[in-house]
Amino acid sequence: MTDIAPAPAVPARPAPAKERPTLIRLRDVHKYYGDYHALRGIDLDIREGEFFSLLGPSGCGKTTLLRTIAGFEQPSQGTLSIAGQDMKGVPANLRPTNMVFQSYAIFPHLTVAENVGFGLRRDPRSKAEKARAVAEALEMVGLGGYGNRAAHALSGGQRQRVALARALILKPKVLLLDEPLSALDKKMREQMQVELIKLQRNVGITFILVTHDQEEALVMSDRIAVMFEGSIAQMADPETLYRRPNSRQVASFIGKMNMLPAHVTAEGGRIVVDVAGLGRAEVSPEQAPGGAVTGSTIVGIRPETLGILFPGETTDRRLAPGIVDEVVYYGDMTYYDVRIEGVPEPLTISNKNFIGEPVLDVGTPTQVIWDERSLVVLSR
Amino acid sequence: MRGWPLRIYVILMLAFLYAPILLLPIFAFNDAAIIAFPLAGFSTRWFEQLWSTPALHQALRNSLVIATVTALLATTLGVCAARAGAMASFPGKRAMLGFVMLPLVLPEIIVAVALLIVVRQVLDLDLSNWTVIAAHTVICMPFSIAILNGAFQNLDPSYEEAAMDLGEGRWGAFRLVTLPLVMPGIVSSLLICFIISLDDFVLAQFLTGQNPTLPVYIYGLTRFVDALPVIMALGTILVTLSITLLIIAEWFRRRGLARAGIKDSGGFL
């Protein structure tokens, strides 16, 4: 069974933080472990107050990059600065960053309040003021009154909240989150996604999230850097990343993408693609974010930008005839795989189920509606 | 009566293990100078005799000093080795940890002779309590490391990093987070090393200076037949002490596991 419950409400995304000053700057950062080249020339600017995600499969270097920012790893080459200060030789305890570890690393021999107050040991404030700060931090993450609990008796979600409170109480410039939701079950994960976004908007601190979950990155981030094999493949806001991936690798890592063989020609400054099975179409330069190389290439189309022309309907949009090859019914949606002559793989179409629309059977001849504006040229 | 052969086997095995030790208190409280049945009657005079033998007190003091220093040294080194084994990675780590455990299976007498040659011929030192301490530290370390490995292996490597992330230096992170979490293991290791040192005869016999340790003193006594009941009394005290310390050590080890919320992975008891 697929979860068809509507996603919990998320507060509106504030205006893009494009004008805000850069907080973290990485230039040509490399990291070697012996012969292993873990980071291969990372250039990155993360702005103040931004929710930034490092997204990639395991082993792509995203955690190494996060640990480099935290100060647990030193770059083999290149520079890293936070708030204008070079971080070379600055240990983790002197950086304006705090981290939520994947395991949460809640100290099991201390109470919840002692955990949250751990970073205040060098704080000159009085005991009572510190206790108030701890209580406020616990309140902020929804654990008010949990201060005297033993840390090892907490549930996964509570541990994460304690880890958040423990990091945020120090008012860092940057909060680093290493796969913070991977240990939680699906329901808890979705709830915490929303809470993290709200928290980030309330405190206004820069969040850097490491995740391998593309949906999590899309939901939560202002900007996402997609990493493969130690390099950043694409860095963009979620919508651009989803609609205009700059390579086949990024396109297939984020969401489902139909890939079709195509032939690109440039005709007087216009880009024209001849897509196998669909036909000729003109695309804008933005639809070739990785650059359009003339000749044989691949174009991508997202399943939800395709449609089915049901019996009795008409459209002035472009059509391609095909035969239904596979039907997967999800309740709110139906996924059709439609075989079109000239296209090697059946096209996947996600169709929202409107009232009165039938669910087609396998083998039904049908018409696929498509739009040249949703094509994206994937030369790389 | 299913399983009765097994039950008999267990009873026989326990008798074989512990019956000789049970003889100790029986004859320690027996009112006769000869170790033989039938028993003559209850007496505490052998214990009183212990109380009034200055040479014995000197040997006991020696043993206690040696055992205490050995326990501290071996455990300190054990903490370093176990921490390195659990948290650091360096070339040849497995081989090195294997070599550290080797004294566990080496015949003690070989170690004793080798150390004697090193101390007398190579270093040209006089035998003293310190040479015994050095030898005892060598044979105690594997036990210390074995106990502490369990404590450190179960430790999330992120704990120290988290403490550093929250503003502590390396030492602060170790002192405030790692040390309290492995403390039950440390106490357990101290007690086990203390017992091993206290009980050791072979190394002490070879390496002791002017003043013998308690086991060496006892061995010396066995030449005199009439001293046997006194040895029985002394043995009774030592066995009781060893068992008590062992139980305390195991209690600490288990508490450490419980505190970190981990399942038991075997121990000495």
Contact B162 A97 (CB under 8 A): no
Average pLDDT on A150-171 reads: 89
Which residues of chain A lie closer than 8 angstroms to B181, CB-CB? 107-109
Contact A105 B161 (CB under 8 A): yes
Average pLDDT on A6-17 reads: 52
Q: Where do you find CATH 2.40.50.140 in chain A?
A: 303-371
Q: Where do you find CATH 3.40.50.300 in chain A?
A: 22-96+172-243
Contact A107 B165 (CB under 8 A): no
Q: How confident is the model at residue A14 (pLDDT cuts 50, 70, 90)?
A: low
Average pLDDT on A8-27 reads: 69
Q: How confident is the model at residue A32 (pLDDT cuts 50, 70, 90)?
A: very high
Could you identify the residue written with the tokens 């993360």? A46
Q: What percent of chain A has pLDDT over 70?
A: 95
Measure B168 CA to nearest chain A CA, in Å.
6
Average pLDDT on B8-16 reads: 90
Q: How confident is the model at residue A250 (pLDDT cuts 50, 70, 90)?
A: very high
Contact B165 A99 (CB under 8 A): yes
- Between chain A and chain B, the number of residue pairs with CB atoms below 8 A apart is 60
Amino acid at B120: R
The predicted pLDDT at position B84 comes to 84
Which residues fall within 8 angstroms of residue B42, CB to CB, at 6 or more apart?
B29, B30, B31
The predicted pLDDT at position A4 comes to 46
What tens digit of pLDDT does each residue of A61-116 get? 999 999 999 999 999 999 999 999 999 989 998 999 999 999 899 998 889 999 99
How far apart are the C-alpha atoms of B146 and B86, rounded to whole Å? 12
Cα radius of gyration (chain B): 22
Mean pLDDT across chain B, nearest whole number?
83
How far apart are the C-alpha atoms of B12 and A372, rounded to whole Å? 88
Amino acid at A373: R
Nearest to B158 among A91, A105, A167 (CB): A105
Contact A152 B181 (CB under 8 A): no
Overall CATH class of domain A303-371? mainly beta
What does the block give as tokens for B243? 């068992």
Contact A121 B180 (CB under 8 A): no
Amino acid at A57: P
Measure A176 CA to nearest chain B CA, in Å.
11
Measure A109 CA to nearest chain B CA, in Å.
7
Q: B38: cis peptide before it, omega within 30°?
A: yes
Measure B92 CA to nearest chain A CA, in Å.
15
Could you identify the residue written with the tokens 């008796």? A153
Nearest to A101 among B158, B167, B176 (CB): B158
Measure A115 CA to nearest chain B CA, in Å.
10
Contact B261 A152 (CB under 8 A): yes
Contact B161 A121 (CB under 8 A): no
In the 8-state DSSP scheme, what is residue A96? Answer: S
The answer, yes or no, to whether residue B24 has pLDDT greater than 70, is yes
Nearest to B166 among A109, A118, A152 (CB): A118
Q: What percent of chain A has pLDDT over 90?
A: 56
Contact A152 B177 (CB under 8 A): no
Which residues of chain B lie closer than 8 angstroms to A166, CB-CB? 166
Contact A108 B259 (CB under 8 A): yes
Average pLDDT on A355-372 reads: 89
ipTM: 0.79
The answer, yes or no, to whether residue A347 has pLDDT greater than 80, is yes
Q: What is the CATH number of domain A22-96+172-243?
A: 3.40.50.300
The predicted pLDDT at position B266 comes to 47
Which residues of chain A lie closer than 8 angstroms to B184, CB-CB? none
The predicted pLDDT at position A75 comes to 93
Higher pLDDT, B119 or B265: B119
Contact B158 A70 (CB under 8 A): no
The predicted pLDDT at position B256 comes to 67
* Residue count of chain A: 380
Cα dihedral A321, A323, A328, A331 in deg (nearest 10): 50
Least reliable range by pLDDT among A21-30, A238-247, A290-299, B250-259: B250-259
Contact B158 A121 (CB under 8 A): no
Contact A170 B164 (CB under 8 A): no
The answer, yes or no, to whether residue B127 has pLDDT greater than 70, is yes
Measure A153 CA to nearest chain B CA, in Å.
9
Measure A264 CA to nearest chain B CA, in Å.
51
Which residues fall within 8 angstroms of residue A180, CB to CB, at 6 or more apart?
A100, A102, A104, A160, A163, A192, A196, A209
Average pLDDT on A340-350 reads: 92
Mean pLDDT across chain A, nearest whole number?
88
The answer, yes or no, to whether residue A167 has pLDDT greater than 60, is yes
Q: What percent of chain B has pLDDT over 70?
A: 94
In sequence order, what are the beta bridge partners of A267?
Answer: A270
210-269 in B: which are within 8 Å (CB) of A?
Answer: 259-261
State the Cα angle at A54 between A303 and A9, rounded to 5°. Answer: 60
Least reliable range by pLDDT among A29-43, B48-62, B181-195: B48-62
What tens digit of pLDDT does each residue of B150-187 get? 888 878 888 999 999 998 888 999 999 988 888 888 98
Q: Is B54 on the interface with A (CB under 8 A)?
A: no
Average pLDDT on A14-27 reads: 77
Give the number of other Cβ atoms within 10 Å of residue B20's Cβ: 9
Q: How confident is the model at residue A325 (pLDDT cuts 50, 70, 90)?
A: very high
The answer, yes or no, to whether residue A128 has pLDDT greater than 80, is yes
The predicted pLDDT at position B268 comes to 46
In A237-375, which ranges are E strands?
A: 258-267, 270-275, 279-283, 295-301, 307-309, 318-329, 333-340, 347-352, 365-370
The predicted pLDDT at position A225 comes to 95
Contact B167 A152 (CB under 8 A): no
> In chain B, what are the domains?
54-259 (1.10.3720.10)
**Cα nearest neighbour of A171 on chain B:** B166
Contact A93 B169 (CB under 8 A): yes
The answer, yes or no, to whether residue A37 has pLDDT greater than 60, is yes
Contact B163 A101 (CB under 8 A): no
Average pLDDT on A294-305 reads: 91
Q: How confident is the model at residue A176 (pLDDT cuts 50, 70, 90)?
A: very high
172-211 in B: which are within 8 Å (CB) of A?
Answer: 176-177, 180-181
Q: How confident is the model at residue A30 (pLDDT cuts 50, 70, 90)?
A: very high
Relative orientation angle of helices A127-140 and A156-168, to the nearest 10 degrees: 130
How far apart are the C-alpha atoms of A64 and A73, rounded to whole Å? 7
Which residues of chain B lie closer than 8 angstroms to A108, CB-CB? 181, 259-261
Contact, A232 vs A42, CB < 8 A?
Answer: yes
State the best of B154, B160, B166 to mutate against chain A, taking most chain A CBs within 10 Å. Answer: B166
Measure B178 CA to nearest chain A CA, in Å.
9
Contact A98 B161 (CB under 8 A): no
Which residues of chain A lie closer than 8 angstroms to B151, CB-CB? none
**Cα nearest neighbour of A122 on chain B:** B167
The predicted pLDDT at position A3 comes to 43
Measure B126 CA to nearest chain A CA, in Å.
47
Measure B179 CA to nearest chain A CA, in Å.
11
